[in-house]
Amino acid sequence: MERADVVVIGGGLIGSAIAWRLQQAGRRVILCERGELGAEASSAAVGLLLPEAGREGGPELWGLWEASLARYPGFVDEVREATGVAVEFRQTGNLALAMNAAEGEVLSRRFRAQVAAKIPAELLSGDGARAIEPSLSPEVQAALFFPRHALVDNQRLSKTVPLAAAKAGVEVRVHEPVLGIVVHSGRVEGVETYRGRIAADVVVNAAGSWASLGVPMHHGEPVAGQAGPNDLPLVRPAKGEVIALWTWPRPIERLLTVSGASIVARADGRLIVGGTVIDNSYDKAVTAGGVASLLAAAVQALPRLQNARFVEAWSGLRPRTRDDQPIIGSGEVAGLFWATGHFKTGILATPATADVVTAMIEGKEHLPVGSLSPKRFGL
């Protein structure tokens, strides 16, 4: 029987970062990915790093986001040093746009929430927004500007973090789904894959949208995270569709968020536009309606995009929990740690989540995340 100190389930960005940090801490880590590395939630994202008060969750989750954003410059530098691969990261600021009076009222409420939480933000008129982004539509009536918001090339990062983990000594296994987490007398004993059992005293469930569907407990103990007949699954997929356009020169420098879409200008000239939310489906087909809605929202905000070249479209599955907050930490099963359910903020939360989970396993101090514990679901 194989043995590792830790088995991490899920080779997305969060699972790979946790595996990397644990290996750096001196653990022998095996990372099991059911498909391709970073092919689900990590690729469904647009690469937005947008911590904001008043969204789903409360102060502990907002604090995790803020801490993670602060870690990002050092994180991408460390990835580059470990792999030799540079990953685009720019602190551009973000303009959240209002296209009508009703959306303007929503922006005003969002602005008040930032003031209360002491998060830097500025409420601008439509003309004020166009003064810093001249390509914006004349339809833009107001904007909320977050000067610290940033972007990262999440697709490249999702490939380079597993590479950094492997170079540090993590055994990375692709196309090896975990069939079950082995539990006996309330304690983790390892996992089962099609290759057999891997014994381990610690298992990290970072399996994303599969976190509650593919990992039943053995030895007759309860199935962790599975729903009753009338309940939503604990963690379910929320498909996100993304499109890429190309135009040069870049029409914008800052991130744009508008009802129905987020728009990121990459350094290579591509405009990445995402992302739809199609709930509770494992079907990754890109839909005509999804592409049409993204195009319509993008062109409304930036009329110049009518002449942009369509490059490609893709989708991925974001893990969404019953309360739209991530699950981070340990529950009733000793040795089982959860790091999933980040929904649309997994890219943002990666550096801090990896540090928190590693500190928990190592028995060290960490950011407060008690409200995100799996115990809130009775796990």
Measured distance CA(249)–CA(269) in Å, rounded:
7
- Please spell the DSSP secondary structure of 190-202, one letter per residue: EEEETTEEEE-SE
Tokens of 336: 């089982």
Closest by CA to 45, choosing from 73, 12, 17, is 12
Are 13 and 44 in contact by the 8 Å Cβ rule? The answer is no
- Partnered with residue 7 across adjacent β-strands are 30, 203
Domains of the chain: 2-84+154-233+323-377 (3.50.50.60), 91-148+235-321 (3.30.9.10)
CA distance 23 to 20: 5
Decide: 169 and 60 in contact? Cβ < 8 Å: no
102, burial (CB in 10 Å: exposed 0-12, middle 13-18, buried 19+): exposed
Residues in the chain: 379
Q: Can you give the pLDDT of all 379 residues of the chain as single tens digits?
A: 899 999 999 999 999 999 999 999 999 999 999 999 988 888 778 999 999 998 777 889 999 999 999 999 999 999 999 999 999 999 999 999 999 999 999 999 999 999 998 999 999 999 999 999 999 999 999 999 999 999 999 999 999 999 999 999 999 999 999 999 999 999 999 999 999 999 999 999 999 999 986 454 444 344 444 444 345 689 999 999 999 999 989 999 999 999 999 999 998 889 999 989 999 889 999 999 999 999 999 999 999 999 999 999 999 999 999 999 999 999 999 999 999 999 999 999 999 999 999 999 999 999 999 999 999 998 8
